[in-house]
Each structure stands twice: as C-alpha cells, then as structure tokens.
Amino acid sequence: MTIILTGFTPFPGVAINPAQVIVERIASDPAYQPYIITEILPTVFQTAGERLRALIRQHHPDVVICLGVAAGRKKISLERFALNINDASKPDNSGLLAQGQPIIPDGQHAYRSTLPLEQFYTAIDSLGIPVEYSNYAGAYVCNHVFYTAQHEIDCSGLNTRAGFIHIPMMTEANAEEGLPIDTMTAAIKACLATLTQR
C-alpha cells in the first residue's frame, strides 16, 4: 500500500502549522517509511494544487490524506465534501486573494471524500479524542487541494481513495481552542492504522 500524507506550511495567523508538525513526525517514524510518502505543501493555491497533482501522477497511490488546520475548531474534523470554489477571506502566502473563482472552470461542483470516514471516526473516538464529521472544508487552500486531488484521481481513472482532515490549533501554540499536538498525532496515526488493517 502507498499512502500520500500532506500538511501545510504556516500562513498568516498560524505561525506554527500543526498539520506540518504531524506530517513531519510521521515522516521521521521508521515504521511508516516503507509506504507513506509525506509532503509539506505551500499555502499557495496554485502551487499546492500542482504539487499534489504531480505526486499523484508519480506514485499512483492507494490513498491520499491531506491535513490542514482550522482555527476555532475543537475537534478532529473529517471532511465529507470538496467544493469547486476558491473563496478566501485572506490571501494565500503568495498574496493572492481568490474570491468566487472555480478551481476547475469546467469541473463538477463537488466531490465526496472516498476515505473510510466511519472507520476513522470510530478509531479516533475509541481513543477518547474529540472527533466530528464536517460537510464543508472551507474555501481556502485546504479545500483547493482536497478538490484538486479528487479531480486528478477522477480524470486519471485511478482507484485511489482520497480526502481531507481538518485539525484544530495546537494548545502548545497558546491557542484558546485546540488540542495538544500529541493527541492530534495519535488521531492521525489511528486513521492510518485502519487503512493498513483493511
């Protein structure tokens, strides 16, 4: 099995991105090195999307899991839908403020996650970690890469399962609402374990 796991760089308002920290922790764990390909994507619409497309084309993975931070959330959020829209309230790290623009002009309106979200939920919940389903991944770079991955897989005819998981801010960064980084790392590792056991 080949799994692509991605996080993001910091961006305005998020000096330390917990998604990056989690991915880097997993990347440094020898237990995951044989089958997990990790990547820290730039928080830039076009560049992040292009990089993820390239990874999918290169590796033809069985699974793609993208991680991103959602400030203000208190639980691990398993995203159900990616929308064909960039509609941000703040610019990405390149300074681009994308508002009301389709990601793929002739693409379908939305894609549904093909990850085993119910199994992920059960695995996280069994550890006593707060978890929820979410129908909306926002319209910033997180949603952009979620949609881009699904579109690439769809157009390539791959059987790859893909989706997005939002995590809260980490309490170590003095976030008013969030979770400890060890807790969030354990949640993502629990999701990965469900995939390798299937």
Active-site amino acid positions: 79, 142, 166
d(CA 2, CA 158): 13
Dist CA 197 CA 82 (whole Å): 26
Distance (Å, rounded) from C-alpha 26 to C-alpha 13?
Answer: 24
